[in-house]
Structure 1
Amino acid sequence: MQKLQNIAVFNLFLQYKTANKMKKEERQKTILEYLSKEHRVSSAELSEYLSVSEDTIRRDLKELSDQGLLKAVRGGAVAPSPIPLHYRKREKHDIENKKIIAQKAISYLKDGQVVFIDGGTTSLALVASFPYDLKLTVITNSFPVASLVEDLPNIDLIFAGGKMCKTSFTTSSIETMDFFRNFRADVCILGICSIHHERGITGILYDDSMLKKNMVQNSNFVIALSSIEKVETAESYFVCPIKDINVLVTNVAPEEEILKAYQNTGLTIL
């Protein structure tokens, strides 16, 4: 009889654990759905929305952050960048919006400038839109950018050597960073992974993010290129604060609600 009672208690325990597990999975699914719409959530509002404690929400956010599904920040969470990691996938992603961004940004490039161009696929779209007679000195660590510039007769190319990253088709090593320190660019074209009005510009890859930081620090004017899906997202590696960029170029109108926080900082938005 005692054995049967023990089995019954154990079965009830399993049912309780299973119910709680399902509840947690459903709760975390709801958090991700909420975040996909709002881009940022606070622990307090999630606690109220889901009728659970803030401690429970913080544990959920940590688990989801550990899985790479969001970025836990002080007081809540922000969405991660939606872009694919590998260059081959990124070059086929969101092509039309990259063209829109490129057409907006091209007006900032003038004959005689020295221009840093990073390895982003949106930066590559801008290079693809260069007028045939544009006269620039382009300094880049991107093999695809170098390949496009090769066919433009009035552009001098300086390539930053170093170890190649096969995920991004760029060089991004200590030697590459040292190379960029030898120049002071008129303009830096920065293709970005994530931008957030509080957390600034962040990246997915450590070496690439450190290189972007170096390019920003050694430029007189910084143009950040970002599709709207990257706005109000964040990644692990810090590049620079919003105040370090001069212009944010997106594929939507500057009056969009999601861009108001950036306009309030005095940032020029195209």
Structure 2
Amino acid sequence: MSTAYIGRFAPSPSGELHFGSLIAALGSYLQARAQHGVWLVRIEDIDPPREVPGAADTILRQLEHYGLHWDGEVLYQSARHDAYREALAWLREHQRSYYCACTRSRIQQIGGIYDGHCRDLQHGPENAAVRLRQTQPVMSFTDRLRGEIVADPALAREDFIIHRRDGLFAYNLAVVVDDHFQGVSEIVRGADLIEPTVRQVSLYHQFGWQPPAWFHLPLALNADGNKLSKQNHAPALPQGDPKPMLVAALQFLNQPVTEHWRDLSTEALLREAAINWSPQRIPVNPAFSNALR
């Protein structure tokens, strides 16, 4: 097996997988398998207040039931705190971060984008978040499906939080540290994560690491036009025959499906899907344009 390509699926255990999750999992899986690459699974369990007990095990069972078998061991972010602390210490040592005591209400009062108020105030760690000192903002990035995506300038220049006031590690820090650690060469995920990409690219630059390629899949929307999500009570993937939902996900991604798919095993269906995988056929949600604002 070639290890030149390494992809991943990284769900948070805030509930069971739904159809929108299946699209992200299947898209990343097929992108890896079509290139004879490695497909990893990581459980992003660094936000205990949002997590549902037992959801991580349920997600892994769902992936196996749907024939999406990963390579190697599952990485749990809850076991990676030392790596995140080391990354924070490195940024602190190189004057690339600072403590911020500003409240959420203050930031909302100034329009929701942080203004760098605490940059030079030399606060200590007590009751403070840690922000990245943004000196090299990333104003755009190339998406392999969507082309050049231009960021909102204010968001790109913002000193964003990398360690929360409540002591939890911020998503942007943890995801960059782990994707670099696992050698991920391309990140295939949903278009709802387009916006934070420029922040993540800027962190790669701060650490002197090579950023991966980016590929943001279209989002499945509900009848109200909102993305299917656990917060919007999207129904969990059914537990019966996985093939109808896999075919629905393939059709959503505009991939060819044989009319005889009912006669195939789940493994054979996925093997054929990988052989016929055609990323250029994937549609782009009109709701997610190449300008973030």
TM-score, normalised on structure 2? Answer: 0.31
Larger Rg: 1
TM-score, normalised on structure 1? Answer: 0.33
Q: Which structure shows the bigger proportion of residues in strand conformation?
A: 1
